[in-house]
Amino acid sequence: MSSEEKTGTKRLAVVTGGNRGIGFEISRQLALNGITVILTSRDEKRGTDAVDLLHREHNLSNILLHQLDICDPVSVASLARFIQTRFGKLDILVNNAGASGLLVDAEGLRALKIDPLTWTSGKAVDIIKEVILHPYDEAVRCLDTNYYGCKRVTEALLPFLKHSTSGARIVNVSSLRSELKRMPNEELRKKLSDIDKLDENRLEELISTFLDDFKNGRLEAAGWPSMLPAYSVSKMVLNAYTRILAKRYPDMCINCVGPGFVNTELNWNTGVLTPEEGARGPVQLALLPLGGPTGCYFDETSLAEAW
Ligand SMILES: NC(=O)c1ccc[n+]([C@@H]2O[C@H](COP(=O)([O-])OP(=O)(O)OC[C@H]3O[C@@H](n4cnc5c(N)ncnc54)[C@H](OP(=O)(O)O)[C@@H]3O)[C@@H](O)[C@H]2O)c1
């Protein structure tokens, strides 16, 4: 253990889903900024390969690996024990790991050559029907990863974030799909933006209603988003959770961010930004100065007014 680790002067970050895509880049850019990074990966081997690459080719020795499956409470508890024993505090948590809620014929999707504007505007909904399936089990997994997984990790690591002396930062990696204007049902939009009444119980009731409507083929009738429904709802709920946390912990900077349309496995490599570009927004929020914004949504590196 270095003397900085012992005295806790060096800032420490945890990045979930750090073995590839945007999470790998967030880990790299934070390490380049002198932060000690715990890169987490649900698969030990994929995580080791990622950390080896960062050590070897990027010459970054301030990155270490810990296994973390955000859907597995035992794995989350093991990470918390590791941080408690080795560092006793945490400065930055980047909740990046995410799941799409879909099964896709990747080649078929790429062959459609959907232009980025059609994709990000949501107008691709009819075009993609033949190459994308939305099984119920994948919807459940999507919510369990993108909302419950983030909550599980955050709750386990909050005790250490409270011990940060540099100002704790939580960054929830969200998506353009989280924007409430994409939710057709006005009542649901109101519920998700009513920060005075919102809490985790209300969010979880809403998730149950969504899954019930999903199972019973009522999504359209009930006014849920038609483009990537489970993914969209998971990120809308994640944004609301971000606001709840920011209100509860006013001394921390807790924000969510859409990284842009990034070329990663999550969108079967149809995105247009590089992972390096996609990581900029999350890294900016992880490194916010004291007194920086909290409870906000950023579209890449820009503060979004309405969301
Ligand atoms: N790419 C885009 O255009 C885009 C746009 C908007 C938002 N985002 C968001 O950006 C974040 C990163 O996505 P990406 O584009 O970099 O996708 P990606 O390349 O598919 O990476 C997703 C990462 O999440 C991990 N993961 C999934 N489930 C997990 C679990 N239960 N426990 C731990 N790790 C888990 C994956 O691990 P494995 O390698 O083990 O599968 C992988 O490391 C996600 O939250 C995504 O929703 C991406």
The string of pLDDT tens digits covering residues 214-241 is 999 999 999 999 999 999 999 999 999 9
Give the tens place of pLDDT for each residue, 169-192: 999 999 999 999 999 999 999 999
Is pLDDT above 70 for 125? yes
Per-residue tokens: 243: 């606001």
Tell me what percent of the residues of the chain surpass a pLDDT of 70: 96
pLDDT (mean) for 2-30: 85
* DSSP per residue, 173-210: E--GGG-GGG---HHHHHHHH-TTT--HHHHHHHHHHH
pLDDT (mean) for 83-110: 95
Is pLDDT above 80 for 133? yes
Residue nearest (by alpha carbon) to ligand 1 atom 33: 69
pLDDT (mean) for 143-171: 98
Q: Domain 3-303 falls in which CATH fold?
A: Rossmann fold (3.40.50)
Strands 103-104 and 132-133: antiparallel
pLDDT (mean) for 154-167: 97
User: Which is the closest atom of ligand 1 to the Cα of 149?
Assistant: 31
Hey, where are the domains in the chain? Answer: 3-303
Confidence of residue 122 (pLDDT cuts 50, 70, 90): confident
Using CA atoms, how far residue 273 sits from 41, 102, 104, 111, 117, in Å, is 23, 21, 21, 19, 13
pLDDT at 126: 83
Rounded (5°) CA angle 203-279-43: 75
Give the tens place of pLDDT for each residue, 21-46: 999 999 999 999 999 999 999 999 99
CA of 22 from ligand 1 middle (Å) equals 7
User: Does residue 166 contact residue 91 with C-beta atoms inside 8 Å?
Assistant: yes
Backbone phi, then psi, for 294, in 5-degree steps?
-145, 155
Pocket residues: Cβ below 6 A from ligand 1 = 16-17, 19-23, 42-43, 46, 68-71, 96-99, 145, 149, 173, 175, 258-259, 261-262, 264-267, 271
Give the tens place of pLDDT for each residue, 200-209: 999 999 999 9
Mean pLDDT of the chain: 94
Confidence of residue 3 (pLDDT cuts 50, 70, 90): very low
Better-predicted residue by pLDDT, 120 or 167: 167
Select which of 231, 241, 249, 297 is catalytic.
231
